[in-house]
Chain A
Amino acid sequence: MADFGRDPWWLVLGKIVFAFAFGLLATLLGVWFERRVVGYMQVRPGPNQVGPFGLLQTLADGLKMAFKEDILPKAADKVVYFFAPTISVICAVTALSVVPFGPMVSIFGHHTPLQVTDVPVAVLLLLACSSMGVYGIVLGGWASGSTYPLLGGLRSSAQMISYEVAMGLSIVAVFMTAGTMSTSGIVAAQGDATRLTIFGTEIPAPGWYAILLLPSFIIFFIATVGETNRAPFDLPEAESELVAGFMTEYSSLKFALFMLSEYVAMVTMSAVTTTLFLGGWRAPWPITIWEGANSGWWPMLWFFGKVIALVFVFVWLRGTLPRLRYDQFMRLGWKVLLPINLVWILVLSGLRSIEDWDTRGKVIAVGIPAGLLLIATLFWPSRRPQPKPTTQEQVDNRPYGSFPLPPMDLQVPPSPRITRVVAEREPANIVAGSDSREV
């Protein structure tokens, strides 16, 4: 904390430009990354035409979007309609200012941390940014003056407020363990590894809060997905129900800004998760054997590696899970994540008040089982399926006067379309056959 606020103005400017460029570049590459990964999961190539490996596809799309017609709906509230996307982008980018990219480095003779700034309440600043980001979506939905966007906006306001509660509570556990709210302080607190002695052998205890505070980590990540409106929690957009939700009426650059804010928010949230739970820029275990892993410019590499891994998880979730129904989603937030979080915080504070036990040891001893229990609860089938009557029994039990049913052993005749396709293809086959016969 004492290292901040001493940089010359050009260094501060450079850091700000770097954080901003990081957000934009991450969007450019993130969209490409997502489309390629989802393509791989769906056994298709994905964008591969523009540039090497299709890397410039997003750039081409962005240019095309900028030259499209900017449509302003007649019923739109013009000023608010214009400001909504900018609010989204500003909030998403501002959050990057307190994310530590690396430790102290030397830039042109100045020793400075690789972080724009840090304040004692840096994590609260992140929460404030995400809560202000809701305004972009809600106002965009309202100002469009149309039904689907309004529904998307209402959904998003309820969704983001609900998941912010779960998110804030999981950060509470981090505050309690780290004893600080500054991001660089939290990264530092995850670094001082104590040594555990188990059965006579001394092993370095993990310092990552993802391991120490496993339940908080799981809940935080779920809430993060809800907060960034990503699948399976993309209810504000919900292409199949609300067309595109809050951004239905948006086009051209304003639409591009919404897309930008979504991807910047995804990267920002990954960076925040890395900082709070995955040790920030600190090297993961096997690399820490090398002494210089946590100094100089190397940590930036570990940081970006972790962020990319988390972005991959986001994409993976999108490629795997179907969208939740709205009531299921709200139930998960208020009736599952919130109570579990409260109980876990209570347990954690109880553990911390036990005197004669190493803090880290007891947190590991309870946190990991609690996390595993949480995972088991989340994936536990809700109730045992009752034995179903067979189809014949169901048919027999239908009351008198029910709708007529076709016979159960009905053979479906082949579709007439299939025979037509075969008939159309036949001439080609005959020609090929006659050729081969001649040879």
Chain B
Amino acid sequence: MTTSTVLAAAGSVSTGEAVTFWILAPLALFGGIGMVAARNAVHSALWLVLTMLCLGVFYVLQAGPFIGMVQIIVYTGAIMMLFLFVLMLVGRDSTDSLIETLRGQRVAAIVLGLGFAGLVGTGLYQALDQTSTVGLAQVNAEGNVQGIARLLFTKYVFAFELTSALLITAAVGAMVLAHVERRKQDKVDQVSTMKARFAPGNYPGPKPGPGVFATSSSVATPARLPDGRLTDRSTPAILPQRELTAEETSLKGTDK
């Protein structure tokens, strides 16, 4: 039994719990506000990480060390990291624009949000003010982890398995979406890539830049290979390959 378990089981709020709460609760709130207010998506994600970390510590304070640690490992460590992974690829200059599409939307959202928070807060405070914890010592008697395991694999086993089935379905779906069918003969190793590169008929050098040795500096103008042929590898695939005719390249007589 940890000190934190003892802390919460005592019924009344101990000093340690109160101090931790009053340090972390403003931080968690601050993180939440920062997440909404931050203009940069990565900053938003980081504020959310702060809130999640505080929540993890709160779980530990409330005699649930296992759920607290899992909150930090799974949500903060893995899921938010995947979010960051995507956000980082978006680019660091992508900030949200602050133009309101609906007039007065922001003020209305702030007022309604504060009102909702006030309602929920007072409601919970009124309901739970005089409530004390019951049975915490019994469920944590043989250890927090063991208690959770017992419940998960007896009473809630169906819900647990159903959730895991849902997650597996999602994972399989993602894999199907990302899967590219590749036959065995399509796979090429390094040696055969090199052989194909130096096979007769293939130009082994790097691609010439568009417009090299060409009559025009347009991207659509194909480059010339060292032997004088035009190469269509130098132009983007969506552009048709064409060379300007003598008539097109001659002066139009507009600069008299």
A contacts, CB < 8 Å to B = 1, 4-5, 75, 77, 80, 119-121, 124-125, 127-128, 131-132, 134-135, 138-139, 141-142, 145, 150, 153-154, 157-158, 161, 164, 181, 399-403
Contact = CB atoms under 8 A, between A and B. Distances in A.
9 contacts: A77-B40, A120-B2, A120-B66, A121-B66, A121-B145, A127-B77, A128-B69, A131-B76, A161-B81
Contact of B88 (A132, A142, A400): A142
Interface stretch (B118-126, B195-203, B233-241): B195-203
Contacts of A145: 92
Given A164-B77, A181-B145, A124 B69 contact: yes
User: Main SS of chain A's interface residues?
Assistant: helix
B3 interface: yes
Given A119-B2, A135-B49, A399-B199, A161 B78 contact: yes
Given A121-B65, A127-B69, A154-B88, 14 more contacts: A77-B40, A80-B46, A119-B65, A120-B2, A121-B144, A124-B70, A131-B73, A141-B88, A150-B88, A154-B85, A157-B81, A157-B85, A158-B85, A401-B201
Given A119-B2, A120-B2, A138 B81 contact: yes
A124 to B, nearest CB: 4
Contacts of A77: 40, 42, 92
A127 B77 CA distance: 9
B88 A120 contact: no
B136 interface: no
A142 B3 contact: no
A124 B77 CA distance: 12
Interface string B188-213: 00000000001111001000000000
Contacts of B32: none
Given A124-B69, A400-B200, A138 B3 contact: no
A161 B73 CA distance: 10
Contacts of A141: 88
Contacts of A402: 198-200
Contacts of A128: 56, 69, 72-73, 76-77
B127 interface: no
User: Main SS of chain B's interface residues?
Assistant: helix
A132 B85 contact: no
A75 B92 CA distance: 10
Contacts of A134: 77, 81
Nearest to B201: A401
B13 interface: no
Contacts of A5: 2-3
Contacts of B88: 138, 141-142, 150, 153-154
B145 A120 contact: yes
B84 A157 contact: yes
Interface of B: 1-4, 40, 42-43, 46, 49, 56, 65-66, 69-70, 72-73, 76-78, 81-82, 84-85, 88-89, 92, 143-145, 198-201, 204
Contacts of A127: 69, 73, 77
A131 B72 contact: yes
B69 A125 contact: yes
Contacts of A142: 42, 84, 88, 92
B199 A132 contact: no
Contacts of B69: 121, 124-125, 127-128
A357 to B, nearest CB: 24
Contacts of B144: 120-121
A132 B200 CA distance: 54
Contact of B65 (A120, A135, A138, A157): A120
A160 B77 CA distance: 10
A132 to B, nearest CB: 6
Contacts of B78: 131, 161, 164
Contacts of A1: 1
A384 to B, nearest CB: 15
Nearest to A158: B85
A167 B69 CA distance: 16
B34 to A, nearest CB: 12
Contact of A132 (B70, B76, B143): B76
A52 B46 CA distance: 46
A121 B144 CA distance: 9
